[in-house]
Amino acid sequence: MNAPTNLVYERPEGFTDTPTHYCPGCTHGVAHRLIAEVLEEMELIPKTIGVAPVGCSVFAYNYFDTDFVEAPHGRAPAMATGIKRVLPDRIVFTYQGDGDLASIGMGEIVHAAARGENITVIFINNANYGMTGGQMAPTTLPGMKTTSSPNGRDVETQGYPIRMAEMLSTLEGVGYCVRRSLHDPKNIRLAKKAIRMAFETQARGLGFSMVELLSTCPTNWGMTPVASLKFVEEHMVPAYPLGDYKVSDAIKQVKI
């Protein structure tokens, strides 16, 4: 097929030609695209090995045109450690949800960061367990209704949200740790830049890098895609402030 002369949007090279299984309006797809674009721009596709999580993005390996493995629930940072330690010149990234990373996989992520594993983590915070039908996650907002907090998360009995970017930024092994959001084009552009910096951190051997992305789950939130974007802006961003929690001096010098 001849490409139209006014083509403004096409599949990045980092993607396979596979339609995704994500729900309409879900920002998992946006996050995927940003990663694929960054890998293409940095010419890292053949060098990259991805680690998929258990969660809605369990099939991430179908969409990226790189080598991929699929981890047990929460264990992606440990698998990535195993890969990176035997292949230090490859680029290794994990893609993880908030149940995966901040609940069952808390041990693995904290210690990968503390060891300064030279891997990149893309962390999708959508405030619930999307894949299993919208149960409460460690990141669920106080008062937020989920299928396992039907009256809204009661902090007295169900505890408080965990802020991963802030927490991990206290660790010396971390080279780059920021939070961005996917709720509008401006923030998506900023998110892409952050993903780029995270992979630049790894490519330069500057330690553990993570980008936390505030994301939507219209299906389980019971909202339209547009209303979910608004929910992120109005409720998630105040609870999870966007910002650079740790940027090592060496990476501050990098201009892209």
Partner 1 sequence: MPKELWKGNEAIAEAAVRAGLQAYFGYPITPQTEILEYLSRRMPELGRAFVQAESELGAINMVYGAACTGARVMSTSSSPGVSLMMEGLSYIAGTEVPAVLVNVMRGGPGLGNIAPAQSDYNQAVHGGGHGDYPRIVLAPSSVQEAIDLMGLSFDLAEKYRMICMVILDGSIGQMMEPAEMPEMKPIVDRNFDWATNGAINRERRILSSIYIDPPAEEVANLRLGKRWREVQANEVRYKEYYLDDAEFVIVGFGTAGRVALSAVRAARTEGIKVGLLRPITVSPYPYQVIDQLAGRVSGFLVTEMNMGQMFDDVRLAVRGRVPVEFYGRTGGVVPFPDEILAEIRRIAAGQWTTDRDPRDAWQARMVSVLER
Residues forming contacts to partner 1 in the complex (CB under 8 A) are 45-49, 51-52, 58-59, 61-62, 65-72, 75, 78-87, 90, 107-108, 110-111, 115
Contacts of range 145-151, beta carbons closer than 8 Å, 24 or more positions apart: 146/220, 147/220
DSSP-derived secondary structure letter, 15: B
Tokens matching residue 127: 């405030």
Provide, rounded to whole angstroms, the least separation between the CB of residue 93 and partner 1.
12
Asked if 94 and 122 count as a contact pair (C-beta separation under 8 A), the reply is yes
Q: Which does 218 bind (CB under 5 to 8 A by kind): partner 1, ligand TPP, ligand SF4, none?
A: ligand SF4
Binding mask 130-169 for Mg ion (x = CB under 5 A): x---------------------------------------
CA torsion angle 160 165 170 174 (round to 10): 150
Is residue 206 a contact partner of residue 175, using CB atoms and an 8 Å limit?
Answer: yes
Q: Smallest gap, in angstroms, from Cβ of residue 184 to partner 1?
A: 33
Residues that bind ligand SF4 (CB under 6 A): 22-23, 26, 28, 56, 126, 130-131, 217-220
Whole-angstrom CA distances from 111 to 94, 157, 218 are 14, 28, 32
Query: Residue number with the shortest CB distance to ligand TPP?
Result: 97
For Mg ion, the binding residues in 5-64 under the rule CB under 5 A are none
Smallest gap from residue 96 Cβ to ligand TPP (A)? 6
State the sign of the Cα–Cα–Cα–Cα dihedral 17, 124, 249, 184: positive
Are 199 and 209 within 8 A, CB to CB?
A: yes
d(CA 145, CA 221): 8
Total residues belonging to the chain:
256
The residue behind tokens 């830049």 is 193
Given the complex with ligand TPP, which of 55 and 207 has the nearer CB atom?
55
Identified binder of Mg ion from the candidate list 14, 50, 77, 97, rule CB under 5 A: 97
CB of 31 to partner 1, least distance (A): 19
CB of 146 to partner 1, least distance (A): 25
Interface region with Mg ion, contact rule CB under 5 A, candidates 61-69, 121-129, 199-207, 231-239 = 121-129
Token match 């408080």: residue? 160
Look up tokens 């940095």; give the residue: 42
Q: How far is the CB of 74 from ligand TPP (least distance, A)?
A: 7
Q: Which is nearer to partner 1, 39 or 191 (CB)?
A: 39
